[in-house]
């Protein structure tokens, strides 16, 4: 036990895992739980911080494995499970790449034994093409990339055969083949909702529209699968769909600001049907993948870079907003309507944002590093500071799901889109002090604020971002821990001491994102999957924080054969 950590870590827990046909954790393993009195200001080494993060991972994993595996998600309050992602073991696949970067070989062995048993052709619930791509397909491709390259391939703990690692890629191919029916539409824009009929096989659910993020967050995973297998079909499907977003039509509806788009697209015609949008849920990761595709392969994806630059420039010029009571903070507004042609046109800004939107800080920072642009880097750091403030402002030290503010430049109280805070004295006082008011106080184990702190640390080397992330980790740990080694739960109200009621859900992305970003930001070793400030990146993260190896020199020979039915 490290002496500094011992000052505020205590309470050993014994976690027993029930018998299953898969490899077991070591019996009587003890874990240390962070006490509520833990203070971020105490001097703690990065090794000790990594140990604390890894302990949280082990508690989460062993509770999932005991009470929920091989189902999708743990319900830690009731010691039960949910199949919210088709019953294919979403938490196991999402935890795979995290266990690998942590070099937790016992957990890797459990997941590696499970992956070949998943039947991706059968499920009793509707399948989301988007969610299945970012969690399952991305998780499998990432695990394959990590396990077939150094330093893991040559790690003393690595004891796996090529047959075992090839099985991971084979499962990714099987899954993509089942999902490919989504693209069988008149335009090639996929239907995001599928039904895996046990009699007739996978089919589209028949939706008429699809969203910006759910169309535009497929291209990295599907392109990588083509590059690994030599089968170009997968990339062609995703890139054809993406083409309608790179050249959005009709422009007077699709593009209310240069590079910033509406949300919904008609699957038959490929035309945008609205002009509302933002950097939040439903649109977010489309913008994220533009710069990441250019990083993945700057030869093939220059247009993606150009479109990201347009979106970034418009965001800085048109939708960056400063609260009237805290003009030192910067948030990105959303927008409604439009269709008037040209910047602003008939578009009305809405001064609201949320936890999901805070990923944008990391996107601007990555864009700044990739393009050697101080403008984007500096703007990203402004956003990080502001999103960190949503954490430090609440009773728990965790930021809310959604919040609003009054823009400092728009006429106060006279504009219908720029009202002040709710009339009660408590909300007014909160806004006066903090520059935002909470509209949804939930915390569902989201990663985006810590994600952006990670990018800020990797870009600048400024230790304050590590301190902010450590404070966030401690706050999340003490607020969401169910105790007794049963995992971590979403909570109802971040501005209430203790988070209010625990809502009994441990999301799979808790494994993939929150715990991985916390681990990476405290890792001193410069592993190849770390974001690099000197353009020596070897990996790029998908939106679920699964590291995908860059294309340069790692593609399989092209193949004209296809195991998919659609092209």
Count of other CB atoms within 10 angstroms of residue 36: 14
Element (H, E) at 11: strand 9-14
Short-list 173, 84, 143, CA closest to 542? 143
| Given the residues 221, 242, 401, 507, the one annotated as active site | 401
Instruction: Write out the two tokens for 213.
Output: 């993020």
CA angle (335, 340, 346) in 5-degree steps: 45
Q: Where are the alpha helices (DSSP H) in 481-544?
A: 508-509, 515-521
DSSP structural state of residue 356: G
Residue 255 bears catalytic tag:
no
Kindly report the number of other CB atoms within 10 A of residue 232's CB atom: 18
Cβ partners under 8 Å of residue 552, min gap 6: 297
Measured at the CA of 111, the angle between CA 122 and CA 18, to 5 degrees, comes to: 95
Q: Which of 303, 465, 263 minimizes the C-alpha distance to 380? A: 465
Phi, psi of 175 (to 5 degrees): -65, -45
Among residues 273, 231, 161, which one has the least CA distance to residue 566?
Answer: 231
20: left (phi over 0), alpha (psi -120 to 50) or beta: beta
Pairing of strands 73-75, 347-350: unpaired
Report the residue count for the chain.
567
Distance, in Å, from the CA atom of 361 to the CA atom of 378, rounded to the nearest integer, reads 10
Instruction: Give me the helices (H) in 297-373, please.
Output: 302-314, 359-371
Instruction: Please identify every residue annotated as catalytic.
Output: 401
């Amino acid at each position: 036990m490290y002496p500094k950590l011992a000052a505020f870590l205590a309470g050993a827990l014994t976690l027993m895992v029930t018998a299953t046909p898969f490899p077991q954790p070591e019996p009587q393993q003890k874990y240390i739980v962070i006490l509520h009195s833990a203070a971020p200001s105490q001097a703690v080494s990065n090794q000790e911080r990594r140990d604390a993060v890894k302990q949280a991972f082990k508690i989460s994993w062993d509770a999932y494995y005991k009470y929920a595996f091989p189902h999708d998600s743990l319900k830690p309050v009731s010691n039960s499970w949910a199949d919210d992602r088709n019953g294919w073991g979403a938490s196991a696949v999402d935890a795979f790449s995290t266990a690998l970067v942590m070099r937790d070989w016992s957990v890797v062995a459990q997941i590696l034994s499970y992956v070949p048993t998943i039947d991706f052709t059968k499920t009793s619930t509707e399948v989301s093409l988007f969610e299945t791509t970012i969690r399952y397909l991305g998780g499998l491709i990432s695990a394959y990339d990590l396990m077939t390259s150094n330093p893991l391939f040559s790690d003393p703990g690595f004891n796996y055969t090529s047959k075992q690692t090839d099985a991971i890629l084979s499962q990714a191919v099987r899954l993509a083949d089942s999902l490919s029916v989504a693209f069988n539409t008149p335009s090639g824009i996929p239907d995001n909702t599928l039904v895996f009929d046990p009699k007739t096989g996978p089919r589209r659910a028949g939706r008429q529209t699809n969203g910006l993020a759910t169309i535009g967050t497929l291209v990295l995973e599907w392109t990588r699968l083509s590059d690994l297998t030599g089968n170009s079909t997968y990339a062609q499907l995703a890139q054809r769909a993406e083409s309608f977003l790179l050249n959005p039509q009709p422009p007077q509806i699709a593009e209310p600001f240069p590079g910033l788009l509406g949300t919904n697209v008609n699957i038959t015609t490929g035309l945008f049907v609205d002009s509302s949008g933002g950097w939040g849920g439903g649109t977010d990761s489309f913008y994220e993948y533009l710069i990441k595709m250019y990083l993945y392969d700057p030869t093939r994806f220059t247009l993606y870079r150009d479109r990201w630059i347009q979106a970034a420039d418009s965001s800085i010029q048109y939708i960056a907003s400063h609260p009237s009571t805290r003009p030192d903070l910067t948030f990105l507004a959303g927008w409604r309507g439009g269709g008037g042609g040209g910047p602003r046109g008939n578009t009305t800004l809405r001064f609201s944002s949320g936890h999901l939107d805070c990923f944008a800080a990391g996107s601007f920072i990555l864009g700044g590093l990739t393009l050697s642009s101080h403008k984007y880097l500096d703007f990203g750091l402004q956003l990080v500071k502001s999103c960190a403030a949503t954490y430090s402002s609440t009773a728990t030290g965790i930021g809310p799901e959604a919040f609003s503010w009054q823009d400092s430049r728009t006429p106060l109280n006279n504009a219908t889109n720029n009202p002040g805070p709710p009339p009660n004295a408590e909300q007014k006082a909160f806004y006066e002090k903090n520059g935002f008011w909470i509209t949804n106080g939930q915390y569902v184990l989201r990663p985006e604020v810590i994600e952006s702190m990670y990018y800020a640390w990797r870009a600048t080397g400024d230790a304050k971002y590590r301190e902010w992330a450590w404070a966030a980790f401690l706050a999340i740990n003490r607020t969401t821990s169910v105790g007794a080694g049963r995992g971590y739960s979403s909570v109802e109200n971040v501005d209430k001491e203790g988070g209010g009621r625990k809502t009994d859900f441990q999301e799979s992305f808790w494994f993939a994102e929150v715990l991985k970003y916390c681990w990476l930001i405290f890792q001193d070793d410069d592993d190849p999957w770390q974001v690099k400030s000197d353009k020596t990146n070897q990996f790029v993260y998908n939106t679920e924080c699964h590291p995908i190896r860059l294309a340069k020199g790692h593609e399989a020979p092209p193949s004209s054969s296809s195991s998919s039915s659609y092209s």
